[in-house]
């Protein structure tokens, strides 16, 4: 909740900027968790970890693509870029330690973050539908990634991204349940 309050206050209605900055953070947990389970498989010399590793690395890749898409829509200012450097440095280390010691909590936390992301993208859609944010043409990279039509718009992109976030929420909650 306080995390959302911070984002709401800092970005206000600048949803494109909000998406850029938050997606740089969203790409971290899947990579950390996927890497850690990979290492666990190596040191235990045990099979059976493949599906989870691939799911988590795919999540990180998917979040990176969200960033590549939104960077076409909003250009971060220097302060936001500085915030990203600071956030990556702190969040990578924080999440790594959390994941090694309390993987269940770590997945649960990501599950909740992803639920917040769904809410943020729903608000972004409301802004577009109310005409407060221009419903521009979808960037090429987004059309390619989601196989959208030639005349797809930002609205279609946000709907596709939101569905990804819902998927991440479900996956992380179920990994929390099972770890």
C-beta closer to Fe ion: residue 40 or 71: 71
The verdict on 165 binding Fe ion (CB under 5 A) reads yes
The verdict on 26 binding Fe ion (CB under 5 A) reads yes
Cα separation, 104 vs 109, whole angstroms: 9
Q: What is the dihedral of CA 57, 59, 61, 65, to 10 degrees?
A: 180
Q: How many CA atoms lie within 13 A of 165 on its CB side?
A: 23
Give φ, ψ of 168 to 5 degrees: -65, -40
The verdict on 63 binding Fe ion (CB under 5 A) reads yes
The verdict on 17 binding Fe ion (CB under 5 A) reads no
- Interface with Fe ion (CB under 5 A), residue total 8
C-beta closer to Fe ion: residue 39 or 163: 163
The verdict on 154 binding Fe ion (CB under 5 A) reads no
Q: Interface with Fe ion by CB under 5 A: which range of 65-73, 82-90, 93-101, 139-147?
A: 65-73
The verdict on 168 binding Fe ion (CB under 5 A) reads yes
Alpha helices in 13-77 (DSSP H): 15-44, 50-70
C-beta closer to Fe ion: residue 35 or 41: 35
Cα separation, 38 vs 34, whole angstroms: 6
The verdict on 156 binding Fe ion (CB under 5 A) reads no
Q: How many CA atoms lie within 13 A of 28 on its CB side?
A: 25
Q: Interface with Fe ion by CB under 5 A: which range of 7-15, 37-45, 128-136, 161-169?
A: 161-169
Cα separation, 172 vs 177, whole angstroms: 9
Closest CA to 106 of 25, 172, 21, 35: 172
Q: Which residue is nearest to Fe ion (CB)?
A: 66
Q: Interface with Fe ion by CB under 5 A: which range of 4-12, 19-27, 127-135, 170-178?
A: 19-27
Interface residue list for Fe ion (CB under 5 A): 23, 26, 63, 66, 114, 117, 165, 168
């Amino acid at each position: 909740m306080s995390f959302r309050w911070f984002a709401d206050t800092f970005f206000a209605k600048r949803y494109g900027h909000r998406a850029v900055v938050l997606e740089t953070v969203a790409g971290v947990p899947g990579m950390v968790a996927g890497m850690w389970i990979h290492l666990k498989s190596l040191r235990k010399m045990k099979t059976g970890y493949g599906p989870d590793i691939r799911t988590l690395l795919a999540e990180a890749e998917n979040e990176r693509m969200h960033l590549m898409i939104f960077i076409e829509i909003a250009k971060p200012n220097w302060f936001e870029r500085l915030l990203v450097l600071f956030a990556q440095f702190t969040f990578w280390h924080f999440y790594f330690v959390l994941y090694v010691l309390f993987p269940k909590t770590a997945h649960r936390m990501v599950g909740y973050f992803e639920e917040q992301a769904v809410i943020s993208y729903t608000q972004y859609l409301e802004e577009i539908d109310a005409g407060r944010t221009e419903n521009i043409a979808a960037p090429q990279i987004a059309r390619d990634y989601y196989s959208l039509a030639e005349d797809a718009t930002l609205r279609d992109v946000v709907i596709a991204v939101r569905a990804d976030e819902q998927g991440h929420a479900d996956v992380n909650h179920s990994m929390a349940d099972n770890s």
